[in-house]
Structure 1
């Protein structure tokens, strides 16, 4: 069994959920191979570097399609937010036998964390993420 996982990263598109499936729609993709025991911070860093190089972009969210039900077969998207969900994603992928896993990644630049927007009155309002 290989200790490396091959992934297709979708970005700058959309996640479409239907009654029994989930699809990542994007013309922008990247391929990435990583160790199965990678931590989430390192995975985010590798994805960011693969797609944007040294630009100051951050991974905002990462989704993985998983089989939610067998009868009928139903897929849903699963948010990868921590070590446990990352481990679950890798184990689910290994059990599926698929040659690669699919991830949908949303990015945000550091400027959007505390974005300034100009109000009609000429004031600046700073917003922080929820």
Structure 2
């Protein structure tokens, strides 16, 4: 049987987190664990990174247009994505939705799937 607080006082029973991350919560019943949180928000570096990712997606789409289902529609969706404000919930939702639509049209093309997944992950950091 496992009992709560049965560990010696110097052992760590929780997760040790450092660095930039979203909201964190300590493990229930954790002893001697550490939490360090920095809310980074949507800085100009993140916006530049997102813009660069969209440029790389556009280039990869053009390179793979013969393998992409409805290439022209993907370009329109990508243009719509670039117009969204990521500091706004609605803009993030539209950007996420349009990138997901492009992702479904890529049929597992490795380079595009990776870039689109990175862009979707980056959108999550703007919240």
TM-score (norm. length: structure 1) = 0.27
Quick check: which one's strand share is greater?
1
Higher relative contact order (CA 8 A, sep 6+): 1
TM-score (norm. length: structure 2) = 0.27
Quick check: which one's helix share is greater?
2
